[in-house]
Amino acid sequence: MSTDYREKRKYPFVKSFYFALRGIWEGVKTERNIRIHSMMTVVVILLGTYVSLNWIEWLFVLIAVTGTVALELVNSALERVVDLVTEEYHPLARQAKDMAAAAVLLYAVFSVIVGIVIFLPKLIST
């Protein structure tokens, strides 16, 4: 293959945003967990507005929810690549999928802890 990979990617920079948005839309359309995380993000943003989070609290909340959705997208992409490579059961394929799912789980737990630390005192005092 003599053609350089970068030569094949001659599309405008703005087009990369289209591809990214299409990826988000595909994830929301096809992945239950991404829909759940997205719905929870809306709930958390509404709750944050209700309890009047300060900018540092918003920063932590947005890092938590955005990171969870982003990791779920990466997990889904990895699962698709593994499925594309092999249709047969393989222990390494299972490990790759399990590890990607574990990364999402760990970050989701972190997000819940962030939510508890930030929202619980505010909800108790209201």
**Chain position carrying tokens 């990364």:** 103
Is 97 assigned to a binding site?
Answer: yes
Tell me if 90 is assigned to a ligand binding site. Answer: yes
Q: Is 72 annotated as a binding residue?
A: yes
64-89 burial by CB neighbour count: b if 16+ within 10 A, else e?
Answer: bbebbbebbbebbebbeebeeeeeee
Tell me how far the alpha carbon of residue 12 is from its chain's centroid: 26
83 is in an annotated binding site: no
As annotated, the active-site residues are: 72
Query: Rounded to 10 degrees, what is the CA torsion of 14, 20, 24, 30?
Result: 120
Which residues does the annotation place in the binding site for a divalent metal cation? 31, 79
Which residues does the annotation place in the binding site for substrate? 72
